[in-house]
Copies of this chain bind each other. A is one copy, B any other.
Amino acid sequence: MLPKAMFSRTLSTSTSALRMNIVVILSGGMDSTTLLYHHLRNGDTVNALSIDYGQKHKKEIDFAKKTCAKLNIDHRVADLSGITDLIDSSALTGIGDVPEGHYADDSMKATVVPNRNMIMMAVAIGWAINEGFDGVSYGAHFGDHAIYPDCRTEFADAMDRVAGLCDYEPVSIYRPFITLTKDEICAIGDSLGVDWGDTWSCYNGRDAHCGKCGTCVERIEAFKLAKVEDPTAYES
């Protein structure tokens, strides 16, 4: 779990009495990395799951690995690259270019990967059942709602319900950031000691963050609004 010094520092702000065993879906971005720290701060036992679904920016998984190695978390990478051809209508998995612009623009719909979150959660729920864990947590936030149907409250509620019925013991779906904005998550992550240099957002997945795709624009804006120093080296 957390290195001792960080653990005692972060636990001091804990407000949760109920400790859980949770599989955190960890992309390696700002939100899911903050989510990991959030559950550790709460004293939860955390396993982390990253998914290789053939995304162009699969270097994000290296960042997830780095964070988990640092925090001594049991981290697995589910290799779903064998299904990429079934979900290749997205610019993140198919032949189209990743669109540039604001993350709330209509053009960003090209970055929706068909049923990505249900696929990731289904695997995470399977692992949670396998380990006798209580739940799965994912980092959907308020800013995602404009574009991503599978980040909306209604979807998360319905996932929680079906996860409660898929096995003998119910599994819960946690989504503590679903009503928060990304800059609020950035502020939380900063207070929890997240090392932002260990996170990756850019959909293009080149050497440096491009600074122009929807998720880069969102990253830049989040740091700015949260008044948190952005250590990211952008191409532009």
**A residues lining the B interface (CB < 8 Å):** 49, 52, 76, 78-83, 85-89, 109, 112-119, 121-123, 125-127, 129-130, 149-150, 152, 154-155, 158-159, 161-168
Contact = CB atoms under 8 A, between A and B. Distances in A.
B149 A130 contact: no
A119 B51 CA distance: 13
Interface of A (DSSP majority class): helix
Copy tally for this chain in the complex stands at 2
B149 A168 contact: yes
A80 B127 CA distance: 14
Nearest to A149: B167
A154 to B, nearest CB: 5
A149 B150 CA distance: 24
B149 A155 contact: no
Nearest to A112: B167
Given A79-B83, A80-B80, A129 B115 contact: yes
A140 to B, nearest CB: 12
Contacts of A78: 82-83, 86
B150 A155 contact: no
B130 A88 contact: yes
Given A122-B119, A162-B155, A167 B114 contact: yes
